[in-house]
């Protein structure tokens, strides 16, 4: 049987996503996602919100991240398996869906392995835009895996940095990242230690993958006046910063009920003060208050950011036609006769 138009859902494959990024341009794609995130964060209170649903194992985690407003519903399926790299697999893979709240019908199914990298970078840059010191030029990128180049390009495109200082415990990762960033206009400095990487940097980004309590930044490494994007700690038992750094910092988070379970603040008492980043973006809470303040964005990733990214991709599929119509929904002639549709297919 030939599927009807109602049965077809636009599917954005990995190839489509790469074509979309090259059609728009990487920096512009990140900017569009960042703009959508800011727009959605300003209407934060209109969204249904819940901590993501996680299934943990000894080697990783699989998560479902849902959210909705009055017009659209979105979810993302995503995993995090640090051991995958040694097996030739991605640490993080993902796909997501956007649906119409009025009918419940999906309007987009999309790969989100690439898109998650883009939206994570966009979110980091949005946070730094609002929290980093004025005149920021240099970022330390500690952890040079799959996310590092996207983070660097996002900070260049949105925050205007011109220098990135790289460090990874695996020198091959740093070599890879430095080679990929050649020709971007960024000055790239490869460093042999994390301490060397943070020299002269106003933004410190940590993005490591090990599923364990870790101390990527010790207290004595962090001086006054910097902004920290801590994006690697994203599940219970996985952190990157010494607890003493948190006590010296003004802490900003996405959604406290999720961050207190998964983020750096799992190391703190439940009543430790934090500010929700959406309030800063909406202008209802202060961001950086003075030049010597340490600001910390304790980022674990939240579903509204994926909602924003999926909105951007949906708009681009309408503009470009880059998608595959997928026969995903049953559409019988009589909505009450699903059985009849099945039986007629035998002929």
Helix then strand then coil, in percent of the chain rounded to 5, is 40, 25, 35
Point out which residues pair with 10 in neighbouring strands: 325
- In the set 168, 234, 298, 306, the catalytic residue is 234
> Cβ–Cβ contacts within 10 Å for residue 344, how many?
12
Instruction: Report helix, strand or coil for 13.
Output: coil
Judged on CB neighbours under 10 Å (0-12, 13-18, 19+), 219 is: middle
DSSP structural state of residue 48: B
Question: 106 φ, ψ to 5°?
Answer: -65, 145
Is residue 118 within 8 Å of 28, Cβ to Cβ? no
Q: Which uninterrupted H or E stretch holds 85?
A: none
CA distance 30 to 16: 16
Instruction: Report helix, strand or coil for 162.
Output: coil
> Cβ–Cβ contacts within 10 Å for residue 60, how many?
17
CA distance 233 to 212: 9
Place of tokens 């599929």: 317
Q: Is 5 a catalytic site residue?
A: no
Catalytic residues: 234
């Amino acid at each position: 049987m030939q599927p009807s138009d109602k049965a077809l859902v636009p599917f954005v494959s990995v190839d489509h996503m790469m074509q979309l990024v090259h059609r728009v341009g990487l920096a512009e794609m990140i900017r569009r996602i960042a703009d959508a995130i800011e727009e959605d964060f300003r209407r934060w209170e209109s969204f249904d919100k819940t901590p993501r649903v996680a299934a943990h194992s000894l080697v990783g985690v699989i998560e479902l991240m849902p959210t909705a407003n009055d017009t659209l519903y979105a979810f993302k399926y995503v995993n995090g398996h640090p051991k995958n790299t040694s097996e030739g697999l991605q640490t993080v893979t993902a796909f997501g869906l956007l649906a119409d709240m009025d009918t419940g019908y999906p309007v987009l199914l999309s790969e989100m392995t690439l898109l998650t990298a883009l939206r994570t970078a966009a979110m980091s840059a949005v946070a730094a835009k609002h929290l980093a010191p004025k005149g920021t030029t240099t970022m330390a990128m500690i952890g040079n895996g799959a996310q590092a180049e996207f983070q660097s390009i996002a900070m260049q495109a949105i925050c205007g940095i011109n220098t990135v200082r790289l460090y990874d415990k695996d020198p091959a990762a740093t070599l890879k990242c430095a080679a990929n960033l050649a020709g971007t206009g960024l000055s790239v400095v490869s460093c042999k230690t994390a301490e060397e990487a943070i020299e002269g940097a106003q933004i410190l980004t940590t993005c490591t993958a090990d599923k364990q309590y870790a101390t990527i930044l010790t207290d004595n490494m962090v001086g006054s006046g910097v902004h920290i994007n801590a994006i690697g700690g994203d599940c219970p038992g996985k952190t990157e910063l010494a607890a003493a750094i948190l006590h010296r910092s003004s802490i900003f988070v996405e959604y406290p009920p999720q961050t207190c379970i998964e983020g750096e603040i799992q190391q703190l008492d439940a009543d430790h003060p934090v500010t929700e980043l959406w309030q800063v973006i909406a202008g209802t809470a202060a961001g950086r208050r003075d030049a010597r303040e340490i600001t910390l964005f304790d980022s674990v990733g939240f579903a509204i950011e994926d909602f924003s990214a999926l909105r951007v991709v949906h708009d681009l599929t309408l503009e470009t036609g880059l998608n595959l119509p997928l026969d995903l929904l049953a559409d019988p002639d009589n909505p009450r006769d699903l059985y009849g549709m099945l039986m007629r297919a035998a002929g």
